[in-house]
Amino acid sequence: MDVIAICGSPRKGNTEFILKRLLMKAEGAGHKTELVLLREKKIGYCMGCLGCDKSGACPISDDMDAIIASMEKSDLIIFASPNYYNNVSGIMKVFFDRMNVLYGTDKLSGKKVSVIFVGEEVKTIQKAILSVESIANSFGMDIVCSLYLNGKGPRDIETNPESVQKIDDFAKIFLS
């Protein structure tokens, strides 16, 4: 199985730690993995020009083409973000907006999706997860599992044995 993990955190911290640990487990089980750190990519804002509707390609030339190609060949896509006001981070939102080039195609249809969020407000997480599930559903992707871990400081998750165990348990779910 090919697994791609898209990290929407603007800093190196909890979200990236979770993904690296999950991908380490996946590699240990013989899967091919790729980690995409959006903060390190050049991804321009969607201009709303609808050029992709006409040509099937986005007129913006940046890192999105390579990320989309990787998503298309993957069996499992993991979307991970800090919880910002019941939603994804800004860089993750820009990424999702630029996925518009795939809207109305079947290029992601049937792909398995996992959603991961990190944040302080456990009571708000359902809204954040629903926002990503809505996007996945609009592309015909199947949500297979979601994970939310409580953390604010950049090392809260990796220094919490209970959180690390939740990550390991989660890996067993999405790798099955």
Q: What is the CATH number of the domain that holds 100?
A: 3.40.50.360
* CB < 8 Å & 24+ apart, contacts of 48-53: 52/100, 52/101, 52/103, 53/104
Amino acid present at 92 = M
Structure token digits, residue 133: 């599930």
C-alpha 96 chain-centroid distance: 9
Would you place residue 90 in the very low, low, confident or very high pLDDT band (cuts 50, 70, 90)?
very high
Task: Indicate the length of the chain as a whole number.
Answer: 176
Please state whether beta strands 2-7 and 112-119 pair in parallel, antiparallel, or not at all (unpaired).
unpaired
**Is the distance from CB of 35 to CB of 45 less than 8 angstroms?**
no
Residue 120 pLDDT: 83
- Chain segment 137-174, per-residue pLDDT in tens: 999 999 999 999 998 888 999 999 999 999 999 999 87
Which DSSP string do the residues of 74-91 spell out, in sequence order?
A: -SEEEEEEE-SSSS--HH
Spatial contact of 38 and 95, defined as CB atoms under 8 Å apart: yes
- Residue 44 lies in domain: 2-174
Domain tally, the chain: 1
DSSP label at residue 143: E
pLDDT given at position 56: 87
Is residue 99 within 8 A of residue 129, CB to CB? The reply is no
Q: What is the pTM of this model?
A: 0.95
pLDDT of 162: 96
pLDDT in tens, 51-83: 888 888 999 999 999 999 999 999 999 999 999
Kindly tell me if the per-residue pLDDT of 176 is higher than 80: no
- Closest by Cα among 7, 162, 140, 176 to 82: 7
Q: Binning pLDDT at 50, 70 and 90, where does residue 37 land? A: very high
Structure confidence by residue, pLDDT tens digits, 92-109: 999 999 999 999 999 999
8 Å CB contact between 29 and 100: no
Query: How far is it, in rounded angstroms, from Cα 57 to Cα 68?
Result: 11
pLDDT tier at 175 (50, 70, 90 boundaries)? confident
Residue 16 has pLDDT above 80, yes or no: yes
What are the tens digits of pLDDT across the range 115-144? 999 988 777 788 888 899 999 999 999 999
pLDDT of residue 174: 77
